[in-house]
Structures are given as structure tokens and as C-alpha cells.
Amino acid sequence: MTDRFADKLLTWYDQHGRHDLPWHHDRNAYRVWVSEIMLQQTQVATVIPYFEAFMARFPTVHDLAGAPVDDVLSHWSGLGYYARARNLHKAAKQVVEEFGGKFPQDPEALESLTGIGRSTAAAIVAQAFGKRAAILDGNVKRVLARYHAVPGWPGQTAVLKRLWEHAEAHTPEERVTDYTQAIMDLGATVCTRSRPDCEACPVKSGCQAHARGETALYPGSRPKKAKPEKTTWMVILEDSDGRILLERRPPSGIWGGLWSLPELDPAFGPEELSEACEQQLGMNCGDPELISGFRHTFSHYHLHIQPVRLPVTGNTTVSDSDRLCWLHRDEALALGLPAPIRSLLTEPEQAALL
DNA sequence: GAGCCGTGGAC
DNA sequence: TGTCCAAGGCT
């Protein structure tokens, strides 16, 4: 049912919305899907160049399904949340094998694809197929929490449930594609997290938070928790030809599946690194040289990265070529390394300041 | 339900 | 400089 909220929003959208984002061109389910996955927990400006490059390399779901996963991961390098890339690749195969290369149009079937949950399924249904489906991303949560003065942190199930109910109630039958884009645009450009521009808001008159002068109270903030501190060694092994030893990380965990510098257990002391290196990497090394370390903050913990150079004294033959490889710096960077490791190899002074 | 998974922008 | 968190989903 179309209510006044949707009408006002659509009128505003016609004049002030974002109508020319890359995934709005040549719109199809594949392009919408890839954009939605990239946009999870990631801002539009960050996604745009990745989306363009990804589409140039993988124009169709068949191109993606047939590509090596390493190729997909290297195009994801720097975007973060690399499980998204592995799931995207897996889901592309699912679309080809289980759905004949055509995306299903109902949310339930879409949610059977790896990496697509309730919100992303709804976004694809509305954006690609023009069918009615309510979305609830970070922007919509903020808009609705303020409009209805919904207290509490949206991470709580009860709060989330109320927001979904409001989202469903406001979603119109007509112009669903524009409406979903409109409410996200309002959240991104007007109803922003800090200092919202309420005077420019088309639904100001009905907004309970604005009426109370309490927009800053909504949505409620996440409970604070201390981040644990962790430490690790990052090994820079360089042979006489200037090649660096890289190690593929395990499929799960931080930077899962990415190539990176070999990591040694922090339980090893500096004098034990040569021996650890021989055990773990099969390389004979001389005395370690410590480089200035730096701290990198993740969502859930702080990681002290301590780089260490270890001169290779023996031969540089690798025993496990699927896990280990020697590459020059530019070749390594083309693989797609984790961002802090990339900075460490390109600008060691900058990395130390992180 | 709660923890985990990245990076960069905004403040 | 540190904190928060953004077009969430999986385990």
C-alpha cells in the first residue's frame, strides 16, 4: 500500500536522488547482485572503481562462474570481507548449474545462493525485477529509527524486528525500484549519521525524532567492548634475485584465501625465528632483522604486525607450490594482497606509521 | 545470540 | 590518534 511517506520520498527522489550509479546502467540481475554484495558494509564511493573493473573482467555470470577463484579474489583485493568474493564465485556456479544461468526472481530462491541474505535478496528483487520487497540496510535503519523514534541498538533482535515491520509498511506497490533507491539515498545524503540536514528532508513533518529534537539519539549505539590486542610476526624473505616468498592464507579466518607474507607464531622469540622459518616454510635462514612494526585495527581486535627480514642461506625451492611461491614485488602486488601487507611492501615507512 | 570478517571515510 | 560504522551474512 502506498502511503504518503513513499509519495513524498519519490517526489524528492526525482529531483535529488542518485540516478546514475554504475549499476544503474545496463541494469540486469547480475550487475545488481554484484553491486549489492560489494556494497555490504562498504560505502558507494569505495565500491565504484571495484565494480567497474570487476564488470570489465567478468561481464556475465558465466564469465564469473568459469573463472579461477584466485582471479576473483585479486579483483576483490582492498575491498575487505573476502568471504564475499569466495561466496560470490560459489553462487555464480550455483546460478549456472542450478538455475540455468538465470537468476531466480523470488526472495526465497535468491536466499538459497551463498552470500545472499534477507536484505540483499530483497534489494535484488526490487532493483533488478521491480517487484515489491522491503529492504533494511544501514541507511534505511537510520531513517526509520528516527522517523518512528525506535529506541535501542538495531543489532538487538527486538529492535531489528520493529524496523523490519516499519520497512514493510512503507514499501509501496508502485515504483518499488525507485523507492528503494530513494530511501537509501535519503539516508546517505540527508538523514546522515551525524548532522542530518533535516531542513532538506521530504518527510521532516512526520519525523518523531526531529519533532523531539532528538535525531542524535537514533538509532541507538552499539554497546562498547574492549578490543583485544594480538601480535604476530610477518616474514619478509627475499632471495638474491629480489623475489619475495609469499604464502597463501587458510580459507577461513582473517584474509582467508589471500596471498600474503608468511606469518609466524608470536610465541616464538626473535632468536627462534630462523628455526621456525625452517620448520614452517622449509627455508634455511640467517639472523633475523626486525623492521619497525605497526598496529592495525580490525573490527574486533588490534593486531601488532612485527615485520622481520630473514636472509635466505640455502636454496629457494618450495616444497608446496600451491601454498608457497617466490615473486617479485610487482608480481606479488598483482596477486591482490591484504591492504596492510600491500603498504608494507610498497611504502614501508608509511606502513610503520599505521 | 554472539563473534567473526576489512577497509576507508567522517569526526 | 582513536572511535564509530558503512547497501550484511555466515558460523
CB A312 within 8 A of CB A239: yes
Over residues A29-59, the pLDDT tens digits come to 999 999 999 999 999 999 999 999 999 999 9
CATH number, position A240: 3.90.79.10
CB A51 within 8 A of CB A38: yes
Q: Are residues A254 and A303 in the same domain?
A: yes
Which three three-digit cell numbers place residue A227? Answer: 578490543
Domain annotation covers residue A279:
yes
**Shortest-distance nucleotide from A342 CA to C1':** B7
Domain annotation covers residue A181:
no
User: Is A108 a known active-site residue?
Assistant: no
Q: Are residues A264 and A301 in the same domain?
A: yes
pLDDT grade, residue A2 (50/70/90)? Answer: very low
Q: Are residues A2 and A118 in the same domain?
A: yes
Provide the number of structural domains found in chain A.
3
Q: How far is the CA of A167 from the C1' of B2 (A)?
A: 25
Q: Are residues A63 and A76 in the same domain?
A: yes
**pLDDT value for A353:** 55
Over residues A300-331, the pLDDT tens digits come to 999 999 999 999 998 889 888 899 999 999 99
Bases on strand C under 7 Å from any protein CB = 2-10
Q: Are residues A293 and A327 in the same domain?
A: yes
Q: Are residues A206 and A322 in the same domain?
A: no
Q: Say which of A36, A214, A278, A289 is annotated catalytic.
A: A36
Domain annotation covers residue A96:
yes
| pLDDT (average), residues A183-203 | 95
pLDDT grade, residue A18 (50/70/90)? Answer: very high
Is the predicted pLDDT of residue A265 greater than 70, yes or no?
Answer: yes
Domain annotation covers residue A44:
yes
Domain that holds residue A119: 1-129
A339 Cβ within 7 A of any nucleic strand B atom = yes
Domain annotation covers residue A179:
no
Domain annotation covers residue A284:
yes
Domain annotation covers residue A93:
yes
Residues lying close to strand B (Cβ under 7 A), chosen from 279-318 of chain A, are 296-301
Q: Are residues A236 and A337 in the same domain?
A: yes
Q: How far is the CA of A138 from the C1' of B1 (A)?
A: 20
CB A283 within 8 A of CB A316: yes
CB A258 within 8 A of CB A332: no
| pLDDT (average), residues A204-231 | 94
A138 Cβ within 7 A of any nucleic strand C atom = yes
**Shortest-distance nucleotide from A253 CA to C1':** B5
Residues lying close to strand C (Cβ under 7 A), chosen from 233-292 of chain A, are none
Last residue of a domain, one of A129, A162, A182: A129
Of all residues in chain A, what percent carry a pLDDT higher than 70?
Answer: 98
Residues lying close to strand C (Cβ under 7 A), chosen from 68-97 of chain A, are 81, 83, 87
Over residues A77-117, the pLDDT tens digits come to 999 999 999 999 999 999 999 999 999 999 999 999 999 99
Q: Whole-angstrom Cα distance, residue A186 to residue A182?
A: 6
Q: Are residues A79 and A141 in the same domain?
A: no
Q: How far is the CA of A36 from the C1' of B4 (A)?
A: 21
Q: Are residues A73 and A96 in the same domain?
A: yes
Q: Are residues A81 and A14 in the same domain?
A: yes
Q: Are residues A146 and A261 in the same domain?
A: no
**pLDDT value for A100:** 97
Mean pLDDT estimate for chain A: 94
Domain annotation covers residue A308:
yes
Last residue of a domain, one of A109, A129, A149: A129
A195 Cβ within 7 A of any nucleic strand B atom = yes
Residue nearest C1, CA–C1′ metric: A354
CATH number, position A114: 1.10.340.30
| pLDDT (average), residues A271-277 | 95
Q: How far is the CA of A233 from the C1' of C6 (A)?
A: 30
pLDDT grade, residue A354 (50/70/90)? Answer: low
CATH number, position A157: 1.10.1670.10
Q: Are residues A233 and A220 in the same domain?
A: no
